Structure 1
Amino acid sequence: MPVIEYKCPNCGSGMVFDSETGTLSCPSCGRKDDIGSISDPLTTNVFSEDEAKEYHCTSCGAVIMTEAETTATSCSFCGSAVVIGDRLTGKLAPAKVIPFSISKDEAMAAFRKWCKNGLLTPSGFMTADRVKSITGIYVPFWLYELHNKVEVQAHGTKVRTYTRGDYQYTETQHYDIYRKIRLNYVKVPIDASEKMNDKLMDRLEPFPYDQLKSFKTPYLAGYVAEKYSYDEQELFPRSKDKIRGYIEAYISSAVSGYTTVNYTNKQIDTTMKQAEYVLLPVWIVHYDFNKTEHIFAMNGQTGKVVGKPPISKAKVAGWFAAISGISFLSLRLISWMMGGGFL
Structure 2
Amino acid sequence: MAHGTVDQTDIQCPSCGGQCAFDPAQHDLLCSSCGSLWPLATDDDHEAATEFPYNPNAPMPEPPSLRGDQVHQCKTCGGEVIFIGAALSENCPYCDGPVVLATEGTAFATMALVPFRIDRAYAAGAITDWVNRRVAAPNDLTKVSAEGRIASIYAPFWTFDSKEAIEYWATYQVGSGKNRRRRGRKGRINIDFNDMLVPASPHVTPLIRDGILHDFKPSYLRPYQAGYLAGFAAERHHMTVQEGLDANEADKDVLIRNLIKGEIDKPNPRVERYRTDTTGIQYRRILLPVWILHYTYHGTAKKVVVSGIDGRTFGERPFSPWKLAGFSALITALTMAFGLVWGATGIL
Distance 2:204 2:273 in 1: 38
TM-score w.r.t. length of structure 1: 0.76
Partner of 2:117: 101
The one of 7, 14, 29 equivalent to 2:34 is: 29
Query: Could you say which residue in structure 1 is the equivalent of 2:12?
Result: 7
What is the match of residue 69 of structure 1?
80
315-324 or 240-249, which deviates more: 240-249
Give the one of 117, 120, 134 matched to 2:150: 134
Letter in 2 for 1:66: H
Q: Write out per-residue CA displacement over residues 308-338 of structure 1, whole angstroms, 9 at most, x where no aligned residue.
A: 2111111111110100010111122223332
CA contact (8 A) 2:20 2:32 kept: yes
Residue 221, structure 1, aligned to residue 230, structure 2: yes
Instruction: Give CA deviations for 1:30-65 in whole Å, capped at 9, x if unaligned.
Output: 2111113599xxxxxx9997x9x9x8xxxxxxxx67
Q: 1:130 to 1:290 in 2, by over 3 A?
A: farther
Instruction: Supply the distance in 2 between the matched residues of 1:200 and 1:125 (Cα, whole angstroms).
Output: 21
> For each residue in 1:271-324, what CA deviation from the matched residue of structure 2 results, as whole angstroms up to 9, or x when unmatched?
571331100001111012223221222110111112221111111111101000
Q: Secondary structure at the match of 2:152?
A: strand
Q: What is the alpha-carbon distance in structure 2 between the residues aligned to residue 47 and residue 159 of structure 1?
A: 60
- Structure 2 portions without partners, runs of 5+: 45-62, 74-78, 91-100
- Number of the residue aligned with 1:166: none
How many residues end up aligned between the 2 structures?
Answer: 305
- In our comparison, the structure showing a higher alpha carbon Rg is 1
The alpha-carbon distance between structure 1 residues 26 and 155, as it changes in their structure 2 partners (threshold 3 A), is closer
Cα distance, 1:224 vs structure 2: 0.5
How many Å apart are 1:261 and its aligned residue?
Answer: 5.5
1:111 deviation in Å?
A: 0.4
Q: How does 1:1-343 map to 2 (within 5 A)?
A: 2-5=5-8, 6-36=11-41, 66-67=72-73, 69-73=80-84, 75=86, 92-127=108-143, 129-154=145-170, 177-209=185-217, 210-256=219-265, 258=266, 266-270=274-278, 273-338=281-346
TM-score, normalised relative to structure 2: 0.75
Distance (whole Å) between structure 1 residues aligned to residue 202 and residue 173 of structure 2: 48
**Helix, strand or coil at the partner of 2:41:** helix
Kindly report the root-mean-square deviation, in angstroms, between the aligned alpha carbons of the 2 structures. Answer: 3.8
1:159 and 1:259 in contact (8 A); partners too: no
